[in-house]
Amino acid sequence: MDLTNSPTTHMKTYQNYINGRFTPSAGDGAIEVLNPSTGDVISRVPESTASDLEMALDAAHAAQPAWAKRPAIERANLLRQISAKLRENVKPLAQVIVEEQGKTLGLAEVEVNFTADYIDYMAEWARRIEGEIIPSDRAGETIFLFREPIGVVGGILPWNFPFFLIARKMAPALVCGNAIVIKSSEETPNNAFEFAQILSQTDLPPGLINILSGRGAGVGQALAESPRIGLISFTGSVATGSRIMASAAKNITKVNLELGGKAPAIVLADADIDLAVNAVKSSRLINSGQVCNCAERVYVHEKVAAEFTEKLAAAMSSARCGNPLADPGVDYGPLINKVGFDKVDALVRGAVTQGAQVVTGGTRADVSPGGHFYQPTVLAGCRHDMDIIQREIFGPVAPVVSISSLEEAVALANDSEYGLTSSIYTRDLNSAMKACREIHFGETYINRENFEAMQGYHAGWRKSGIGGADGKHGLHEFLQTHVVYLQT
C-alpha cells in the first residue's frame, strides 16, 4: 500500500472520499492537522461544505438500494476484503494514527487489528439477520416481521479511537444493507482518509461508504440535521450528543449516541490489591487516559486505601511518557491538544485547592515544548463533590476517594450524570453480585480491566448515551422493522 503521507517526511493534503473517488471540496476552506507530540502541522484536509455533504448523500442514496437487494452473504464477503487489506497494512496505518492522535504504536497496531476483527465479526452476522413469524388472532392470517435496512446512515466520529470507530459504524451499517456518510474528527481525519485508500482497493461498489472531513458546527451539524439520513450514529462528548439530538429532532431522525463516561472503580477491603492497582493504572495510562470506558474515579475501602494508593502511585510514577514516534518504548503519549491538556490541568489544580493531596505527578511532563504531555498523577483525599470526581478528566490522572462500605461506594458511584462503565474488585462473590444488582451502569467489570468485547453490548445509561454498539443488539440499531399481515 502506498501511504504517501509518510509521517516523517512531508506534509500531505487529503481530499474527501465520495462515490469511490477522492474528490476536491466545493469550498476552499482547509483544516490543518497537528501532531500532538510536537505541535507540527502534518496535513491539510478539507473543511467540507454543505455541497460536499449533498454530493456524498447523493452517492449513498444512489448506491444503497442495489446494495440492500444483494444477498447479505455477498455484502459480508465484500466487507471481508476490507479487513484483509487492513491486515496487510497494520504498520503504516498505525503510524498514521500515532502521528495525529498520539497513542503508542503498540496500541495503534492493536486498534488496526481489532478494526479488522470487528469487520469480520459483523460480517459473520450476515446469515443471522433474522425476522420472525408471529401467530395471528385471525384465521388464515400470518404476521411476518421483517428486519430491513434503514437506508442511508450518518456517522460522526471522535478522535480517541478514530480508526476503530469507523468500523463500529460502517461494518454493522453495511452488513445490514445500508450506505453510510462519515464525518471524521477534525483532530484525526488522516487515518479516515487512509481507510478510504483501503476501500478504494476493494470491489466494494462506490457510494456505499463516503468519508468527509470538516468541522462539527459546519458539516457535522448539516449531516445530523439532514432529512436524507435515517439514523445518526454519533460517538463523542455529552455536550455534542445533546446538540446532535436537537439537530436530529428536526426530522425525527433516529439517534444512536455513544457518549462520555466517568467510570467508578470500587476496591473493597478483601480485593486482590495488586490486580486492582494494575487495572486502574492501565485505565489511566492507556491512550493517555483518554478512553470513555476507563476507570476515572476510584472508591477504595478505608482499610486498604493507604496500601492501594501507595502501590498505585509507585506503578503510575514508573510509567514513561513521550513522543511515541520518536521513542517507541514509551508507556503513553501526549494529550490530544491544548484544550484537553488545560482541562486536565485545571481539574487537578482545582482538586488540590479543594483539599486533595498530590501523591505523584500533578503537572506537565517535560517532554517537548510543542507537545501536550501530562505526568502520571495520583490524587489522594478526594471527595465525591469535587469536580475531578464529577467531570470526565480524559488524562493520566487517578483520583482516589476513601469509603467505609460497599453500600457507600455504590451510592457514590451511582450519583453521577454518566452511566457508561463501572468496575468492582473483591474476592467475595456475594459482594460482587450485590454490587451488580445495585450499580446503575451499562457495563460492570468484576476483577478485570475495563474493556468491552465486540460480542457484548456497549451502551451507556443516563447521559452516557442512547442505544448502543456491538453484538447482536448493536447490529439491530442499524435495522428497522417492517411488519406484514398476510390474509389468505
- Shortest gap between Cβ of 336 and ligand NAD (angstroms)? 7
Closest contact distance (angstroms) between CB of 462 and ligand NAD is 12
CB closer to ligand NAD, 161 vs 308? 161
3-state class (DSSP) for residue 435:
helix
Q: Which of 109, 186, 292, 392 is catalytic?
A: 292
User: How many chain residues touch ligand NAD (CB under 6 A)?
Assistant: 32
Cβ proximity of 461 and 440 under 8 Å:
yes
Q: Which amino acid is at 252?
A: I
Binding residue for ligand NAD (CB under 6 A) from 172, 177, 216, 376? 216
Question: CB nearest ligand NAD: which residue?
Answer: 216
217 binds ligand NAD (CB under 6 A): yes
Q: Which is nearer to ligand NAD, 103 or 243 (CB)?
A: 243
* Of 57-65, 125-133, 209-217, 424-432: span binding ligand NAD (CB under 6 A): 209-217
> Any bridge partners for residue 443, and if so which?
421
The span from the CA of 312 to the CA of 377, in Å, is 10
Question: Counting contacts by CB under 6 A, is residue 260 touching ligand NAD?
Answer: yes
Q: What is the 3-state secondary structure (H, E, C) of 345-385?
A: HHHHHHHHHCCCEEEECCCECCCCCCCCCECCEEEECCCCC
Q: Which is nearer to ligand NAD, 221 or 309 (CB)?
A: 221
Contact positions with ligand NAD (CB under 6 A) in 221-240: 221, 224, 235-237, 240
Of residues 127 through 166, those in contact with ligand NAD by CB under 6 A are 156-161
C-alpha cell at 13: 493534503
**Contact between 420 and ligand NAD (CB under 6 A)?**
yes
Nearest to 374 by CA among 414, 332, 425: 332
- Rounded CA gap, 398 and 403, in Å? 16
What whole-number distance in Å separates Cα of residue 87 and Cα of residue 375? 34
For ligand NAD, the closer CB: 75 or 168: 168
Which sign does the torsion angle of CA 334, 340, 342, 345 carry?
Answer: negative
Segment interacting with ligand NAD (CB under 6 A) among 258-266, 294-302, 326-334, 365-373: 258-266
CB 302 within 8 A of CB 403: yes
* Cβ neighbour number for residue 201 with a 10 Å cutoff: 13
Q: Which listed range, 68-76, 253-261, 280-288, 322-330, lies at the site for ligand NAD (CB under 6 A)?
A: 253-261
Q: Cβ of 373: how many Cβ atoms within 10 Å? A: 23
Nearest to 431 by CA among 295, 293, 267: 267
Q: Which one of 45-53, 170-178, 217-225, 404-412 is the stretch in contact with ligand NAD (CB under 6 A)?
A: 217-225
Q: Does 261 bind ligand NAD (CB under 6 A)?
A: yes
Q: CB of residue 220 vs ligand NAD: minimum separation in angstroms?
A: 3
Nearer to ligand NAD by Cβ, of 94 and 469: the residue is: 469
- Residue 258 in contact with ligand NAD, rule: CB under 6 A: yes
Q: Is 392 in the site for ligand NAD (CB under 6 A)?
A: yes
Q: Does 186 bind ligand NAD (CB under 6 A)?
A: yes
Q: 31-70 mask for ligand NAD (x: CB under 6 A)?
A: ----------------------------------------
Distance from C-alpha of 395 to C-alpha of 347, rounded to nearest angstrom: 10
Nearest to ligand NAD of 99, 258 (CB atom): 258
* Cβ–Cβ < 8 Å for 366, 311: no
Q: How many CA atoms lie within 13 A of 44 on its CB side?
A: 8
258 is catalytic: yes
Using CB under 6 A, which of 172, 381, 396, 460 touches ligand NAD? 460
Nearer to ligand NAD, 49 or 402 (CB): 49
Q: How far is CA 83 from the centre of its chain?
A: 19
Residue appearing with cell numbers 389468505: 488
Query: Edge-to-edge, what's the strand order for the sheet holding 179-183?
Result: 21-23, 16-18, 209-212, 179-183, 152-156, 231-235, 254-258, 465-466
- Intra-chain end-to-end CA distance of the chain, in Å: 57
Nearer to ligand NAD, 172 or 465 (CB): 465
443 is catalytic: no
427-450 exposure pattern, b = at least 16 Cβ within 10 A, e = fewer: eeeebbebbeeebebbbbbeeebb
Q: Active-site residue among 109, 258, 392, 443?
A: 258
Task: State the catalytic residues.
Answer: 258, 292
**Contact residues: ligand NAD, CB under 6 A:** 156-161, 183, 185-186, 215-217, 220-221, 224, 235-237, 240, 243-244, 247, 258-261, 292, 392, 420, 458, 460, 465
